[in-house]
Amino acid sequence: MTSRRPLRFPQMAIRCPWCRAAPGELCTNARGRRPRRADTHAARRIAWVVETTTCPVAACESAPGSPCRSSTTKLALATGVHPERDTAAERAVSGHREPP
Ligand SMILES: [Zn+2]
Ligand SMILES: [Zn+2]
């Protein structure tokens, strides 16, 4: 079975842990179940980055499947992942560098 449309966001490859949108489907708004077209839930983006990418931050180096840790406390980051890890995940799927 082939997908009729390309993935709008790479994190759509996984199920959203927040709204339970299936892989390949847009996130839906909890009220009214309308698809979100501008973005996905942040939790889905973070989950996708964690699952697919090793963190490039030297003080962290979390393996795929492991959440980022704060370099000072070694606890999981409350905000999700290091920005560098998000960038590395994006580069892996886009296959090219975005201009600064
Ligand atoms: Zn969602
Ligand atoms: Zn990290």
**For the segment 73-93, what is each residue's pLDDT rounded down to a tens digit?**
666 666 689 999 999 999 998
Question: Which ligand approaches the C-alpha of residue 70 most closely?
Answer: 2
53, 80 in Cβ contact below 8 A?
Answer: no
Question: Which ligand approaches the C-alpha of residue 60 most closely?
Answer: 2
> What is the CA(46)–ligand 2 centre distance, in A?
11
87, 50 in Cβ contact below 8 A?
Answer: no
Q: Which residues pair with 76 in a beta bridge?
A: 69
Residue-wise pLDDT tens digits, 14-51? 999 999 999 999 999 866 567 888 899 999 999 999 99
> What is the CA(18)–ligand 1 centre distance, in A?
5
φ/ψ of 77, rounded to 5, equals: -65, 130
> Which of 22 and 72 is assigned the larger pLDDT?
22
Helices marked H in the chain — which ranges?
42-52, 83-94
**Residue 12 has what pLDDT?**
95
pTM value is: 0.79
Residue-wise pLDDT tens digits, 19-28? 999 999 999 9
Tokens 């993935």, located at residue: 7
